[in-house]
Amino acid sequence: MKQQGHLTGNLLLLLAALVWGCSFVAQSVGMDHVGPFTFQATRSLLGAISLMPIIWLQNTRARRAGRDPKLNPQTKKALLWGGLLCGLVVTVAVNLQQYAMQDTGAGKAGFLTTLYILFVPVAGIVLGKRPPLLLWACIAIAGVGLYLLSVQQGFVIAPSDLMLIACAVVFTVHIMLVDHFSPRVPGVQLSCLQFLVVGVLSAVPALVFERPQMDDILRAWAPILYAGVMSSGVGYTLQILGQRRTLPTVAALIMSLEAVFALLAGMLLLGERLSTREAIGCALMFLAILLSQWAQAPRGAKPLPADA
């Protein structure tokens, strides 16, 4: 049963990576019509709304099975704090990413965002865990890849690249928060509350700085619909549910495939092309990502038990 739960968690995370990778295309196309804050506010609110019927169905099934769907006070408190903290962190991350994508293609944005996979094991240093020597080699490889991908002539890193690297750092915090809260609260409810927070917080600067018009939002309905329902509603819920069943390092490895999916989606759907230099940089970063997870994967450890 534990092995089955482990496999289920891996498949959920793989689906999340696929959904997120394709979402980079939606984010890029959506900004042809609306500003970054407007896009994130509308997609996040739509994502939260799309999860409400699922929560209602789950509660209905519980009642029919003779179970009380009401949460105990301790779980309610954890859900509230988890939703607020995750929502705040995701607000910062996705808006950094969205702004950066005004000047960066979907494929490159996907790879730079995936640097969080390296930052997750490095964050273990803060927690008192001694990293193996191979991890430092991975950081060096990623540094070379990042240089080839981001540093232009004259040793200049574009502001959009710095935003995406900062985004990866913030997503590292989010992964840690999900690892802490997901075993303690209902996953769909955590995801729903998380994106209510993101939607409200993003709506404030959208109204102040961008003054969105309904006509513009309707013109971007397709990318907003995909990013809202699929990336926000489905993708992040899959992450929360998947991380319950899988070791954090393995989860990070699987989610890193979003970079590959983003690159492929950008090339197939947007006609993006990488230079030879950028392609080598992507390959080195992905190699570093794979090696870092192998270096940090606990030998013989068991995943967390899956909740029913």
Residue 148 is which amino acid? L
CB 202 within 8 A of CB 40: yes
pLDDT, one tens digit per residue, over 117-164 is 778 777 767 767 666 777 778 778 877 887 777 666 666 778 898 999
Question: Which of 193, 173, 179 lies closest to 233, judged by CA?
Answer: 193
What is the count of structural domains for the chain? Answer: 1
| Cα–Cα distance, 129 to 227 (Å, whole number) | 36
Question: In whole angstroms, how large is the CA radius of gyration of the chain?
Answer: 19
pLDDT digits (tens, 9 = 90+) for 175-232: 889 888 988 999 999 999 999 999 999 999 999 999 999 999 999 999 999 999 999 8
Query: What domain range is 128 assigned to?
Result: 2-296
Residue with tokens 């090696």: 291
Does a structural domain hold residue 97?
yes
pLDDT tens digits, one per residue of 39-77: 999 999 999 999 999 999 989 988 888 888 889 999 999
Is residue 305 assigned to a domain? no
pLDDT of 1 over the 60 cut: no
Indicate whether 191 belongs to any domain.
Answer: yes
Helices 257-269 and 106-113, interaxial angle, to 10°?
Answer: 170
Q: What are the DSSP calls for the chain, one per residue? A: -HHHHHHHHHHHHHHHHHHHHHHHHHHHHHTTTS-HHHHHHHHHHHHHHHHHHHHHHHHHHHHHTT---PPPHHHHHHHHHHHHHHHHHHHHHHHHHHHHTTSS-HHHHHHHHTTHHHHHHHHTTTTTPPPPHHHHHHHHHHHHHHHHHHEETTTEE-HHHHHHHHHHHHHHHHHHHHHHHTTTS-HHHHHHHHHHHHHHHHHHHIIIII---HHHHHHTHHHHHIIIIIIIIIIHHHHHHHHHHS-HHHHHHHHTHHHHHHHHHHHHHS-----HHHHHHHHHHHHHHHHHHHHHSPTT--PPPPP-
- Is residue 301 included in any domain, yes or no? no
pLDDT for res 202: 96
Residue 72 lies in a domain: yes
307 in any annotated domain? no
Give me the pLDDT at residue 302, please: 45
pTM: 0.81
- Residue predicted with more confidence, 245 or 62: 62
Which residue, chain included where needed, has tokens 């985004």?
Answer: 167
Confidence at residue 307, expressed as pLDDT on a 0 to 100 scale: 38
User: Is 178 within a domain?
Assistant: yes
Q: Is residue 96 part of a domain?
A: yes
- The amino acid that residue 208 corresponds to is V
